[in-house]
Structure 1
Amino acid sequence: MPPLSPMSRRSFLQGMALAAGMSAMTYRPLRAAALPATAGGTPQVPLFPTAPLMQQPFALLPAGSIKAGGWLRRQLAIQAAGLGGHLDEFWPIVGPDSGWLGGSGESWEDGPYFLDGLVPLAWQLDSPQLKAKAMRFIDWTLDHPWDNGMFGPRSNDDWWPRMVMLKVLTQYHELTGDARVMPLMTRYFHYQLQALPTRPLRDWARMRWQDELMSVLWLYQRTQDPKLLELAHLLRQQGYDWQGMFAHFPFTQKTDADALRKQAGGSDAFMQDLGLQVHGVNNAQALKASPVWSTVSGTAVDCNAIQHQLQMLDTYHGLPNGMFSADEHLAGRSPSQGTELCTVVETMFSLEVALAITGDAALGDRLERIAFNALPAALTDDMWAHQYNQQPNQVECSLHRQPWTTDGPESNLFGLEPNFRCCTANFHQGWPKFANSLWMATADQGLAAMSYAPCTVTTVVRDVPVTVEQVSDYPFRQSVSIMLKPQRALRFPLRLRMPAWSQNTRMAVNGKPVAAVAGFTTIERTWAPGDIVEVHFDAEVKTERGYNGALSFSRGALVYALPIKENWLIWRKRGPTNDWQVYPGSRWNLGIDPAASVAVSEHPIGDKPFAGATPAVQLTLQGRYVPAWKAEEGSADPVPAKAEPATDEAAQSVTLVPYAGAKLRITAFPSLG
């Protein structure tokens, strides 16, 4: 393997010699007791880890168990009508020449990234067109394994892109029950178990070993193959020790790439070690490393390590939208720093996985904050263009090299593939996987609402088919109605996550009040078809302090921002879409008195739920201009710790809208007084 060139964000390695052939492999089919119900027919039974794996409080329902409704389904439909559903028609990276279709084109991570969102999107919408697009890649992958057990394009044998494709195959099997999937995965894992001692994990695969561990454990739950546990231990042994890094977290400042390159001994060494440790997407994926490993180790220390990881990221790199800065590398707490869109969707997926394993309700709060703010903010309302980096304080989207740690001048443009192409292929896993994680099974054979959005759940509880219909305009409104429809009257626990921001939640079952408790409220009773649970969250406006004492405003799961008038200019045409620069058309340098009163007004939710032109909620308060706070190189200066308002201008009425609706915005304001 040649060394990676300096700062080659996604350069993959070609021309590597094939590993030696593997010895005879065995495939043990599912035991009858472990068989889920037929995919596409009756609901599948959720599977929990069994000994020697550690029990966990929740388990994700099999893919296909949850169908989005209401505004969330509209959001998925917008994605399908935009880049997510049409990318392969005009973007050569995932076009007919893709290596994942047997062609000579791109053969590394982009094809698997594309499928990791396309597969759950296609089945969420039950779209024959999108399913057909996905099946071209999946059929080729399943029907063209290597003789030695490898699979995928033969132009490289890098472990990393196959980790992504394994995640695709596990989802696809849960959706279809395709009998080709588990034999291919078994042969590959047996091959890898023999190959890793002489060809160990390196670079991206070494940092992202936990993503493969999930697929290994998924297969183990279904086959009980002891070789898979051997592979799990080997992946952990060769993978990067994220828990150890965060235990003594060294990256407490904005990344100085030049200093780290010097410390590492050169650019190549930097990109193979230190550069990967401070890499935003690596850190996002690493959030699930310790929880997933805890199912093997069985220790509470591993299970709970994610809390410390998040604390370190918040303390030194936290932003008001629920994310941490990473543009490309960890970038400090200034809200003028950016976060890569891949980092957003990978953080969401890590939180969805960790929430099931740890049962920590606070992870659900963070997941919603990211899903309802950071995710839609990085996309145009029609999802035909996206940003590589978004900034909470984003006053211009133009060609500048500042203030990024290592990214290029296109980083915050909206377009097809600004700065680098990875997010183009990877962004669309965000919404479909969020929809698939709204509800989970509980270890005591019940159901749990983990996040709130309109949906229908079809599953099996204690051997009885159950349908749950959740109707809500949450997060734009604070009421949730849940109707349970078991096939027959059935006793089981229902758990509802109580957001920490709701201090006076009101609940009722069939009109009779139920007391809400912090974390998860459990209602155990005999449920009859048509029983209704109503929940009313208490969403007060909260003022939050951040970098240099800056003020940010939230209400419930939504963060609010000052919208700046946007002037959109086409920079270049990109097939059916464009690359855009966006320039400000209004003043933005406002400070806020922390004692200012805030008024809330609610408005109709538009066809495009997060569109800035039709904000579903607005906050109104008073602010004053701060003349000394300016922009440089197209980015707002860091929020001043001491803000002096203009003495010759009166206070201004300030209207804030949901964060995602303002593509130019101020989210963190200087504190006056």
Structure 2
Amino acid sequence: MRYSTLFALSSIIVGFTPANVDHSPVTTAFKAPVYQELPLGAVKPKGWLLHQLQIMRDGSSGHLDEIHNKIKNDNGWLGGKGDGWEETPYWLDGAVPLAYLLNDAVLQQKVLRYINWTLDHQRPSGYFGPLTKAEREKNIAITVNNPEAGEDWWPKMVMLKVLQQYYTATNDARVIPFMKKYFQYQLQVLKKCPIGQWTEWATSRGADNALIVQWLYQQTKDPSLLELAAIIQRQSYPWTNWLGNRSWAIDAATQQDDHQWMHRHGVNVGMGLKDPAVNYQRTGDRRYLDSLHTGFHDLMTLHGLPMGIFSADEDLHGNAPTQGTELCAIVESMFSLEEIIGITGDIRYMDALERMTFNALPTQTTDDYNNKQYFQIANQVQVKKGVFNFSLPFERGMNNVFGLRSGYTCCTSNMHQGWTKFTSHLWYAAEGQGLAALTYSPNEVTAKVGKQQQPVTIREETAYPFDDQVQFIFQTQGTATFPLQLRIPSWCKEAIITLNGQPLRRDKGGQIITLQRTWKNNDQLTLQLPMEVTVSSWGRNSRAVERGPLVYALKLSERWEKATDEQEGSYFSIFPEGAWNFGLLEKSVKAPAANFSVHKDKPVTADFVWNLEHAPVSITTTAKKIPAWQLVDDVAPQPVTTREGTYKGPTSTEEETITLVPYGCTKVRIVAFPVVR
């Protein structure tokens, strides 16, 4: 598999037993991130990415508090008795960056209601959050002497991420003292009320808590914060141990019962990916990074799917193309990768982030961003009510359809952080007062650079990931001397870089390059990343067609049907128009360049939407139908192949031309193809 190759070297660890990683504090120095995050709002979306965020603002991201009763009614984060757990912070974790990325005053005022209430109602002890049952009914003050009168640590972890983003956008002077006070409270009471006092969700997600503690340490250098972060990590799930211990990923592939199921819960895993990096940041112990490399390699080998995410329906569930993936698992894995990238500077996670973002993310919401799909399937030949081969068979069968409230509504509230945080992490501050472009999309960044801290704006114009050119246009007053770092993706054999139309350099893929020079106003730097069609191997001897960061899927016309469920409201089913049971020809798989044709069908305009109508690139090839490949229990189980990877059963004698389009533009599709002769 592609990820097996990508991470093969990293999984060879000399003299280190991953299972023996110690969660206790290590007496080595705190490691500053390789790349520092820029303040929220320093990066502004442009082009198709701006349109995507505008759709979100006009749809559920900007109005969830009006259309989702759980947040709308008597909200606990506004002092009411309603939602006081995760869904309101989840929504804000995407709505806050959206408000400041778009500089939208209306949305800023909306999210400020919740931020202001939270900041203004911190208890004298440092505790914060919605009023607890003990406070409301017994008028009990929550202090360090009775922390058990408080409530779950977990939703506070999400709200801390909200406040951290808000602070970088506004420098609101209330935030840092608020966090100091709360973390001092935590430090004093965690022995009596540990992270798992109320729910196992908090135990599984403690790395999110430690992440913000260590962010505050970078602002204040208060050593007690490192002590607190170490305590939180010791009381939380030992994700570092599990990721480094290969039996964890193997066991998760074989066990689907209720025994320790939260250890393999896909969203927990997505959040837990950052745990080794957070531990490394606090300690400087590189064994944590070795554990991360091993764990991510094993995770994607045993559970990985072509669109760049692992199965999570809800548990890790192997690599069959008919397994599902929860939307929350995607956006949480993206955030973990963004944090891992900043802390480690490792290009492998940058490649993984783009693959996940441009393939898995866009397909799981409707064009207007008002409906989501709880579970997506790689080979998804229909979208309908049903139980399917998932480890969480809801009795109402609503996990696969598109609706605002279909499945669990955690994803309804949490999906908003995907595109917004990806946008804010397109650029990072780099060593030498420079800037680093580590993932690519149309945007504009403004920052102070170089020894003179000179302001510079760089406009990034591109149709990436559909096109292979990224152009950077510099706006400075006079000249600005600073290093610019660019990622050359691992899938690119050789990048071509020109400056003002003149050749500058060529660089092999799989590295970060640094351009140290004096930049002038209106300089135009062009990064060309030639994209070749390749074929990668995935579960059950299937093959996926790729070009650059995109995976391509069979184009099927879609028939949408709207219906209503009594408990979960309106929803959409989607059915294919046309045959889907094709196998790729063996000759095409062996020689992609000669047998796949790339077509630039239409430009990527400012009104681009991830759907079939707007798909700007297609790939054609010839294929044969497999008559015996049919639906079984409403899914399309992969045909059995030989060890050599070919299907030996009857196929149609006629070769037909099929069209492939970017996976993210599809709702029904085949992406993991059998191979036929």
Shorter-normalised TM range: 0.7 to 0.9
2:506 maps to which of 502, 512, 515? 515
Say if 1:66 and 1:455, in contact at 8 Å, map to a contact too. yes
- What is the Cα deviation at residue 487 of structure 1? 3.3
Cα distance change, pair 206–181 in 1 and its aligned pair in 2 (3 A): same
Structure 2 distance, partners of 1:407, 1:107, is 27
1:665 & 1:639 partners in 2: Cα distance?
16
| 1:331-380 residue CA offsets vs partner (Å, 9 max, x unmatched) | 10001101110000111111111111111112111111111110001011
Shift of 1:152: 0.7
1:654 to 635, 652, 658: 658
What is the correspondence of 1:493-532 to structure 2 with a 5 Å cutoff? 493-513=483-503, 514-518=505-509, 519-532=511-524
Q: Does residue 53 in structure 1 map to residue 33 in structure 2?
A: no
CA-CA distance at 1:576 after TM superposition: 13
Q: Shift of the alpha carbon at 1:602?
A: 0.7
1:71 to 45, 48, 51: 48
Deviation at 1:101, TM superposition (A): 1.2
User: What's 1:443 paired with?
Assistant: 431
Counterpart Cα distance in 1 of 2:512 and 2:393: 41
- AA aligned to 2:422 is F
Q: CA deviation at 1:603?
A: 2.1
* Per-residue deviation, 1:57: 2.1
- Residues 625 and 651, structure 2, Cα contact 8 Å, conserved in 1: no
Q: CA deviation at 1:486?
A: 3.3
Native 8 Å contact 2:493 2:508 kept in 1: no
Q: Distance in 1 between matches of 2:641 and 2:82?
A: 51
In the alignment, which residue of structure 2 is the partner of 1:627? 627
Partner residue of 1:187 out of 165, 181, 188 = 181
Q: 1:452 aligns with which of 427, 435, 440?
A: 440
Structure 2: distance between partners of 1:398 and 1:544: 29
Comparing 244-253 and 648-657, the one that deviates more? 244-253
What are the Cα deviations for residues 202-246 of structure 1, in whole angstroms up to 9, with x where unaligned?
A: 211111111111111121121222221110111121121112112
Output the amino acid matched with 2:216: L
Task: Give 1:111's aligned residue.
Answer: 88
Counting only pairs closer than 5 Å after superposition, residues 303-342 of structure 1 correspond to structure 2 as 303-342=289-328
Alpha-carbon distance in structure 2 between the residues aligned to 1:192 and 1:243? 23
In structure 2, the CA distance between the partners of 1:293 and 1:639, relative to structure 1 (3 Å rule), is farther
Q: How does 1:62-101 map to 2 (within 5 A)?
A: 62-101=39-78
Unaligned regions of 5+ residues in structure 1, if any? Answer: 1-50, 262-269
Q: Contact 2:430 / 2:436 at 8 angstroms: preserved in 1? A: yes
Corresponding position of 2:573? 581
Does structure 1 residue 485 correspond to structure 2 residue 475? yes
The one-letter code matched in structure 1 to 2:165 is: Q
Amino acid of the structure 2 residue aligned with 1:141: T
Question: Relative to structure 1, is the Cα distance of residues 145 and 88 closer, same or farther in structure 2, using a 3 angstrom cutoff?
Answer: same
Find the aligned partners of 1:564 and 1:644 in 2 and give their Cα distance. 25
- Of the candidates 265, 285, 289, which is equivalent to residue 299 of structure 1? 285
Per the alignment, in what secondary structure is the counterpart of residue 416 of structure 2? Answer: helix
Correspondence 1:610 to 2:610: yes
1:42-73 residue CA offsets vs partner (Å, 9 max, x unmatched)? xxxxxxxxx94213321111111100101100
| Separation of aligned partners in 2, 1:415 and 1:253 | 33
Q: How does 1:505-584 map onto structure 2 within 5 Å?
A: 505-513=495-503, 514-518=505-509, 519-572=511-564, 578-584=570-576
Q: Please give the alpha-carbon distance, in whole angstroms, between the structure 1 residues aligned to 2:568 and 2:154.
A: 31
Aligned to 1:671: 675
Q: 1:345 aligns with which of 312, 316, 331?
A: 331
Structure 1 counterpart of 2:9: none
TM-score, normalised by the number of residues in structure 1: 0.88
In structure 2, the CA distance between the partners of 1:249 and 1:52, relative to structure 1 (3 Å rule), is: closer
Partner SS for 1:197: coil
**CA 1:275 to 1:575, structure 2 compared with 1: closer, same or farther past 3 Å?**
closer
Letter in 2 for 1:448: A
Single out whichever of 104-113 and 477-486 deviates more from structure 2: 477-486
Q: Specify every segment of 5 or more residues in structure 2 that has no aligned partner in the other structure, as ranges.
A: 1-27, 133-149, 589-594
Following superposition, the deviation at residue 407 of structure 1 comes to: 4.3
- State the identity as a percent: 39
Partner of 1:196: 190
Q: Equivalent residue for 1:244?
A: 241
Matched, 1:228 2:214: no
Note if 1:381 corresponds to 2:375.
no
Partner amino acid, structure 2, of 1:569: E
- Match of residue 159 from structure 2: 165
Taking the aligned partners of 2:566 and 2:223, their CA distance within structure 1 comes to 50
User: Does structure 1 retain, via aligned residues, the 8 Å contact 2:405–2:569?
Assistant: no
Residue-pair matches, total: 611
Q: Determine the structure 1 residue equivalent to 2:125.
A: 148
Aligned to 1:35: none
Match of 2:143 in 1: none
AA aligned opposite 1:511? G
Paired residue type of 1:396: Q
Query: Equivalents in 1 of 2:650, 2:615: separation in Å?
Result: 30
Q: 1:541: how far off?
A: 0.5
Q: Give the whole-Å Cα distance in 2 for the aligned partners of 1:256 and 1:300.
A: 30
1:418 partner SS: coil
Map of 1:125 onto structure 2:
102
Amino acid at match of 2:386: H
Q: Which runs of 4+ in 1 moved over 3 A?
A: 253-258, 573-578, 644-649
